[in-house]
Structure 1
Amino acid sequence: MEIPPKGPDGRRMTVNRELTEDELVWHFRSGWNVAALNCVADRYQPILDAYGAFIKDNERELKRVNDRLEKVYRSQARTRREAMVARDGQTTMVYNFFALPPARTEFCAAALEMANRALASPPKDALGFARENFDQLTEPFYTFFDRYERYQRLSAEWDAKYGALYGPSQPGWVAVQQARANGVEVPRAGESDPSTTITNPSGAMSVTDPETGEKVPVVPVDERVLSQPVTQPLPTDANERETDGAGDSSEG
């Protein structure tokens, strides 16, 4: 998969960048919705309970936010349908961002902590609560992006140093690069259908959001299983000396 690059300010170029206040509220609501549908273990029940209460208690404010966003999209489009398509596309990317499977465990933990606070002290100001908690919901994904980018860098360094002798450290990564070179579209983390970023998307589906009519991706993740990259063993100094010696003797 491709990781969102960083802009000149060091921030990732994602769908959650440079939001207006109304967009912040709506993206926050969307992220919480994704958590309510994807964090399904019994211990995560407070996420769903708190989300339902948040929607009910802030119904009027959320409707005003939605109406203002609709006006913005209509003002930027030539037709009502064009505005609808533009907003649908944006909403889909927001849902896909929060449904990214590799960050699921940390995302659910963050949503659970937030939900417990919301149940203890129900928020009556949607914008204020979104401001206070949006970074907490998005942080697991940016952490994953940083970790994955570091993994790619270390893998490339290993290949440059030892690949000719031992083969590529990540055959799957090599295959992705070859596919990209051949014009095959590579999934973009945080934008593409999240089920395309995992090898076994069995059970992936979508649920219609009753408030917006949009499809919210639901991608099952087994939190008991940790994905472990396949790596080649690091050559020992003895092996390197032996290889170097063999090379020297052959030249002599």
Structure 2
Amino acid sequence: MFRKRLHALARCGLALPLLVPALLAGCAHQAELAVATPEPIAPPPARPELAPDLATIAPPPRGEDEAYRTINSALDPQSTMWHVRAALNVAAIGCRGPGDIGTVPAYNAMLTSKKALLAKVNTGVQAGFRAQGADGDAYMTKLYNYFAMPAAKPGFCAAAATIAPAAAAATPDAFPAFAQDALPALEAPFLAVFRQVDEYRLASAEWDRRYGPQADATRLAEAGAPMPAAPLPARETPSPSLPVRAPAALPTGTSASAGHYDLPRALSLHQGVTATASTSSVSVAPRLAYAEIGAVVAWQPVRRETLASR
């Protein structure tokens, strides 16, 4: 019996050195799992931003060909020449950088060399306005203001500095074909601004979808998970300190246009609208948003000393 116990102890003693390393290895593995840390989550990228001078720009609609439909779209040859003259007119007034020194003399030279042609074009354009019952002054105001967009001014002035001398050099017979190529070049900076605004809107919407407040809801919707119910809006109750009274009825024979409800007068004070009391109608007089342009609306030659004094 004693010998059997010795043999059992001997067997345990021989196995013990083999068990100790295995136990220690298991403990070391558990220690590694305990100290492991998850990888940090990268913060979302910065939200796209739009330059302040582009914040109020509303790009025009696009056609089926994805091209913007602007005031310079789908013009006949006569109107195209007139729009080129209007664009260079705005450039002669508003472009005054070091690279624009030749724009004014080139514009004046164009008026001189194309005097008869432009007079004929002007007559045709005005006849078109009358035939359509359109306000020619309002249309030209809109056209001048289009080419005076501040956000597109650097590119527009650079294009005009190149096109104005070429317009002056073109012969009257070649000017119609020249205008067909010149107008898209003059308008290109404005189309670039419109694309920039549209690209920002797309990028901003995508950022909101991925990282904005609705990102979690968007992920749930894409995964097909049920959307959490939106909380019901709190019912608004009148303040107990302020009694609620029904609005008083207007006296018999009066209307909401009396007193402070005089809409034509309010418009005339705040929007430059002329009200006609006898007909109760409101007529809007065309105005120039940029006062400088009004100096040469009649496309008279521009004097450099006049520009220098401004």
The alignment's TM-score, normalised by the length of structure 2, stands at 0.51
CA distance in 2 between counterparts of 1:111 and 1:154 reads 32
CA distance in 2 between counterparts of 1:2 and 1:76 reads 27
- Aligned residue for 2:298? 211
Q: Is the counterpart of residue 67 in structure 1 residue 143 in structure 2?
A: no
Tell me, yes or no, if the aligned pair for 1:100 and 1:194 is still in contact at 8 Å.
no
Tell me, yes or no, if the aligned pair for 2:71 and 2:143 is still in contact at 8 Å.
yes
Alpha-carbon shift at residue 164 of structure 1 (Å)? 1.7
- Aligned residue for 1:145? 194
Amino acid at match of 1:145: F
Q: After superposition, what is the alpha-carbon deviation per residue over 1:25-77, rounded to whole angstroms, capped at 9, x for unaligned? A: 11110011111111111320111111110011000000001111122222222
CA distance in 1 between counterparts of 2:120 and 2:94 reads 27
Alpha-carbon shift at residue 20 of structure 1 (Å)? 1.0
CA distance in 2 between counterparts of 1:87 and 1:193 reads 13
CA distance in 2 between counterparts of 1:165 and 1:20 reads 48
CA distance in 1 between counterparts of 2:201 and 2:288 reads 21
Q: Is the counterpart of residue 108 in structure 1 residue 160 in structure 2?
A: no
Q: After superposition, what is the alpha-carbon deviation per residue over 1:189-212, rounded to whole angstroms, capped at 9, x for unaligned? A: xxx9767xxxxxxxx644322526
Alpha-carbon shift at residue 124 of structure 1 (Å)? 1.6
Aligned-residue RMSD, C-alpha:
2.5
- The structure having more radius of gyration, on CA atoms, is 2
Q: After superposition, what is the alpha-carbon deviation per residue over 1:105-148, rounded to whole angstroms, capped at 9, x for unaligned? A: 111111112234456xx112232321231111011111111111
Q: Is the counterpart of residue 15 in structure 1 residue 71 in structure 2?
A: yes
Distance 1:118 1:27, change over 3 A: closer
CA distance in 2 between counterparts of 1:73 and 1:117 reads 29
Q: After superposition, what is the alpha-carbon deviation per residue over 1:81-104, rounded to whole angstroms, capped at 9, x for unaligned? A: xx5xx1112111211111111111
Tell me, yes or no, if the aligned pair for 1:101 and 1:194 is still in contact at 8 Å.
no
After superposition, residues 1-252 of structure 1 pair within 5 angstroms as 1-77=57-133, 83=134, 86-118=135-167, 122-125=169-172, 126-164=175-213, 205-209=292-296, 211=298
Distance 1:163 1:11, change over 3 A: same
CA distance in 2 between counterparts of 1:69 and 1:115 reads 22
Tell me, yes or no, if the aligned pair for 2:144 and 2:293 is still in contact at 8 Å.
no
Q: After superposition, what is the alpha-carbon deviation per residue over 1:142-172, rounded to whole angstroms, capped at 9, x for unaligned? A: 1111111101110121122222299xxxxxx
Q: Secondary structure at the match of 2:294?
A: strand
Amino acid at match of 2:73: R
Q: Secondary structure at the match of 1:108?
A: helix
The alignment's TM-score, normalised by the length of structure 1, stands at 0.62
Q: Secondary structure at the match of 1:207?
A: helix
Q: Secondary structure at the match of 2:171?
A: coil
- Aligned residue for 2:229? none
Report which structure shows greater RCO (CA 8 Å, sep ≥6).
Answer: 1
Tell me, yes or no, if the aligned pair for 2:90 and 2:148 is still in contact at 8 Å.
yes
Tell me, yes or no, if the aligned pair for 2:103 and 2:165 is still in contact at 8 Å.
yes
The structure 1 segments of at least 4 consecutive aligned residues displaced by more than 4 Å after TM superposition are: 192-195
Tell me, yes or no, if the aligned pair for 1:99 and 1:194 is still in contact at 8 Å.
no
Q: After superposition, what is the alpha-carbon deviation per residue over 1:200-235, rounded to whole angstroms, capped at 9, x for unaligned? A: xxxx6443225269xxxxxxxxxxxxxxxxxxxxxx
Uncovered stretches (5+) of structure 1, i.e. residues with no partner: 78-82, 167-191, 196-203, 214-252
CA distance in 1 between counterparts of 2:180 and 2:154 reads 23
Aligned length: 171
CA distance in 2 between counterparts of 1:28 and 1:62 reads 11
Q: Secondary structure at the match of 1:208?
A: helix
Distance 1:2 1:109, change over 3 A: same
